[in-house]
Chains A and B, each alone.
Chain A
Amino acid sequence: MLKVQDLFKQYTSEDGTPGGGVLGASFDVADGELFTLLGPSGCGKTTTLRSIAGLEQPQGGLISLMDTVLYDAERRVNIPMYERDIGMVFQSYAIWPHMNVYENAAYPLKVAKGKRLSASERREKVRSVLALVGLEDYIERPSTQLSGGQQQRLALARALTREPGLLLLDEPLSNLDAQLREQMRSELKRLQRETGVTAIYVTHDQSEALAISDRIAVMSDGLIMQIGNPKDIYERPTSEFVANFIGTTNLLRGVLNADIKAGNEAPVDTPLGKLLCTFTADVLATPTVGVVIRPENIIIAKIGDDKAAALPDTNRCDGTLLTETYLGEIVEYEVGVSDEIVLIRTKPTESLTPQDAVTLHFPTSQTLALIEKSN
């Protein structure tokens, strides 16, 4: 459906040094998929989106949508943005203040080439799109009198009226308050499913990305670190960067004196002793790795308990419980092991108190040895 290959666009800061951008990104988006570009500010996700839209001219690579080449550096093809079959929702919504709700939504049908409709067809079309986003009662309202959530819906309606081949969403929820954001998040997902439109979604909010996406591309410093579905990205990160960026994690520095291929298990020396780790990516000619384990995957038991006795001998270490933080649905423990502090999350069923001697177990399949950054 959408194909992006070796996309390159580098900005130059005022002092002449390179200043961010996208430094060679490739990915494909399937028909009807909701694909998310996720990363911290300055990682190149917005540049990628704007290059697909045609709002930025890339310096290299290829972008094609269905059978149309939108941009090809080699053949010097660059279709102007207004001829691309793409709808876009902007971060600021960009609702025109001098037009009412209807006029805003109808604008694409009036100005775009090729899709000429009769006045009544147009009216019908705009009505149905406004109904889809729940704005049918606001048709004649001046757009300046809309709330943030309503503006958001109108921006979405406007991007959909033209029935574009691709929908781009640039941090569409970042200007809403927390409660509305969650509501709009599920609504966006519902609309995307209902219309079946292929969508690219840009965000820096990892929980938003996990909740909404079919697939996620995690970006850092202009490069794509990992592409996968939310479960893979969370449970099987292939680099320290992705593991750290998504969710909370324990990170230990490990030493390894062998080359290990992805999919294998191997022991790694860590400050907590030797741990048998799973490798999700090739680790070649790198003596140090990051050993990563999520707090909810560590098993904790009081020394002397039956539960402790039942734990396997491998990937074990003993420590002292330092703090207990009760958060309702879960409890967080901080355990001191030699000079390290390990964070653990469990259901509030354990009966542990600070200063207890505890033992920890790191299940091999969830203890990952990772390189710093993939690619």
Chain B
Amino acid sequence: MTTPNRSVNNGLFSGARLKNLFGISPIVVVLASILLVLIAPAVIFLFQSSLHETQFDGSFGDFTVQYYVDLLTSDQFLTNLINATIYAVGSAAVAISIGVLLAWIVERTNTPGGGWVLIISIISLGIPSVLYTISFLMLLGKVGPANEILMWITGAEDPLLNVYSLWGMIIIEGIEFAPLSYLLLSSVFRSNDASFEEASMMSGAGILQTFRNITLRLAQPAILALLILIFIRAFESFETPALVGLPGNVSVITTDIYESIDEVPANYGQAGAFSVVLLFIVGALLIWYNRLSRNAERFQTITGKGFRPRVMDLGKWRWLTGAILALLFMIIIGFPIGIVLWVSMVPYYDGVSLEALKLFTLDNYRTVFNSRSFHDSIGNTVIMGAAAASVVAPFTALCAWLTVRRYKGAWILDQLATSPLIFPAIVMGVAFLQVFLNLPFGLYGTLLSIILASMVRYLPYGMRYSYAGILQIHTELEEASSMSGARQTTTFLRIVMPLVAPAMVTCWLFVFLVSVKAVSIPILLAGPKSQVVAITLFDMWENGITNELAAMGVTWTGFMTIISLIFYMLAKRYGLSVR
């Protein structure tokens, strides 16, 4: 009966005693100002840097459009743009093929062992992207088991696969995005009414025909939206292009940005121009994505009457799908983790063989545990992740609450807090690099600078969780408190806070996990004293310290997987969608 989300006549933060700005609560004004102070300088400095000559000390010189002219007239840029597009399309295709197969087998059929797939999601949220990419380089590299098996089969003398190529990037990135693709598609497949499929089977169609004509067609809008989402993510990704592409002379825009800053002297202007172009491309794609995903949701709500989530009986074929499931599980998690474990326990990596078993040792772990820089790097990472999460979780909870309860002007908070989404991580890094270089606070190279940038970068993620959490709190729970005679602050402390706490904890864990995983922001901002695990792993790989890298990676991934497991349990318990 009651229209949801009526505007509320609440005294809380409406500041009757303070002078209101166009009737907007002071708390909204304060929060919006904080967001503006955090976000606006980065945007301004990014554009400024691309439009002014770079000085030796990093400050701005004369106004120029030369960087854009250079960029748009160079053949290299066009090549890299094409590379990035092929790479992103390929990755999305790989990720979605795996995702559709996994999601269909797990959600729509009676294949045994579907529950194990959850482990894929848990570990993939815990493992640093750098380590994941490296593990595939170990698997598919010259001395890796993949090449050895191929050489044994074909009898060739030389390795057949060259992973340092565009197809190598596509395979690795595609597999890395497979868990996300599976997660989103499984919710689509789960919400499909089984009677659609049963009606098809009763009309005489076989299992494969039904899958093709009904299941896939119903999921088509969602798949299209997902295709674009993964395209965007791959297009703006940095780890795989840097570790796989660069050694094989395949450049994309994100690596161009990195190289402009990595060269001596750093060409900030060029990096800025690249970043601005990337920002606009990603922005346009996101607008398209939003439109498509809205359509997809509309499509999804069409279910037949009498909704029953039933699965298809595959008969003896379910052992085949079970085998496919096991194979995919091994490809996504088993082999990568296995090879890193292997490498961490041998003195030097020269492929997987029985002889190497004799050399098994824990020396790498010993070296890593006794290393001072390892301790520092872990300490820094934990502080960085915890600090970013501790700010983002309560901050977004308050913003989300004000937005959901329709406080006047609160939509601005929502818009501002989700705006960093259009910044690819590497662009966010460049923008904050400019801020810290040009502001007189001496933040450049400090851990605090990484924390600030990560905070802004992961605000949208926090907002998504907080928003979902607050939406679950029925307005009447708060109104009942007011009608009991409680003032608004009492209501907030005694009703809202306890109810939103699980969502906030979940949000905290998620922001922690994603912020410690990433490389793009710290690789541009970290100084000698603010190394974090992801960067340490990256540097170790570049310097060929492979075995200790593996030992460190295994240890760290172990910790993070535990945190990820807690996150999944909480999210499931409190019904928050895991994305």
Contacts and interface: CB of A to CB of B under 8 A. Distances in A.
A88 B484 CA distance: 8
Contacts of B8: 55
B294 interface: no
Given A92-B476, A94-B476, A55 B482 contact: yes
Contacts of B486: 82, 107-108, 111-112
Contact of A111 (B476, B494, B499): B494
B495 A56 contact: no
Interface string A321-357: 0000000000000000000000000000000000000
A188 interface: no
Contacts of A81: 9, 482-483
A46 interface: yes
A48 to B, nearest CB: 12
A82 B478 CA distance: 12
B484 A94 contact: no
Contacts of B477: 94, 96
B402 to A, nearest CB: 18
A53 B482 CA distance: 9
Given A41-B1, A91-B2, A158 B484 contact: yes
B79 interface: no
Interface in A93-116: 93-94, 96-98, 107-108, 111-113, 115
Given A56-B6, A113-B485, A204 B1 contact: yes
Nearest to B494: A111
Nearest to B478: A94
Could you say which of B3, B480, B482, B499 has the most chain A C-beta atoms within 10 Å of its C-beta? B480
A269 interface: no
A111 B1 contact: no
B487 interface: yes
A55 to B, nearest CB: 5
Nearest to A87: B483
Given A111-B494, A174-B1, A53 B476 contact: no
Contacts of A93: 476
A215 interface: no
Contacts of A170: 1-2
Interface residues of A, number: 40
B474 A111 contact: no
B495 to A, nearest CB: 6
A81 B10 CA distance: 8
Contacts of A91: 1-2, 476
A82 B495 contact: no
A77 to B, nearest CB: 13
Contacts of B3: 11, 20
B490 interface: yes
Interface in A105-151: 107-108, 111-113, 115
B1 A171 contact: yes
B498 interface: yes
B481 interface: yes
Contact of A55 (B1, B9, B490, B494): B9
Interface string A15-32: 000001000000000000
Given A90-B480, A92-B474, A111 B9 contact: no
Interface in B1-42: 1-3, 6, 8-9, 11
Contacts of A94: 474, 476-477, 479-480
Interface in B133-147: none
A15 to B, nearest CB: 15
A10 interface: no
A88 B479 CA distance: 9
A159 interface: yes
Interface in A47-99: 50, 53-57, 80-83, 86-88, 90-94, 96-98
B476 A162 contact: no
Interface in B512-554: none
B451 to A, nearest CB: 32
B484 A111 contact: yes
Nearest to B474: A92
A289 B2 CA distance: 34
Contact of B483 (A41, A86, A96): A86
A244 B3 CA distance: 25
Contact of B480 (A54, A56, A57, A158): A158
B4 to A, nearest CB: 11
Contact of A80 (B1, B11, B474): B11
Nearest to A203: B1
Contacts of B1: 41, 46, 91, 170-171, 174, 204
A355 B237 CA distance: 81
Contacts of B480: 88, 90, 94, 96, 155, 158
A54 B485 CA distance: 11
A162 B484 contact: yes
Could you say which of B480, B485, B494 has the most chain A C-beta atoms within 10 Å of its C-beta? B485
Contacts of A115: 485
Interface in A181-221: 204
Given A94-B477, A98-B498, A170-B2, A54 B484 contact: no
Interface in B41-61: none
Given A46-B1, A57-B9, A170-B2, A112 B485 contact: yes
Given A81-B482, A93-B476, A111-B487, 9 more contacts: A57-B9, A82-B486, A94-B476, A96-B481, A96-B495, A96-B499, A108-B484, A115-B485, A162-B485
14 contacts: A20-B3, A53-B483, A55-B9, A55-B479, A80-B11, A82-B482, A82-B488, A94-B476, A94-B480, A98-B499, A111-B485, A155-B480, A158-B484, A170-B1
Interface of B: 1-3, 6, 8-9, 11, 474, 476-477, 479-488, 490, 494-495, 498-499
| A-B residue pairs, 5 tightest by C-beta | A112-B485, A108-B484, A94-B480, A94-B476, A111-B486
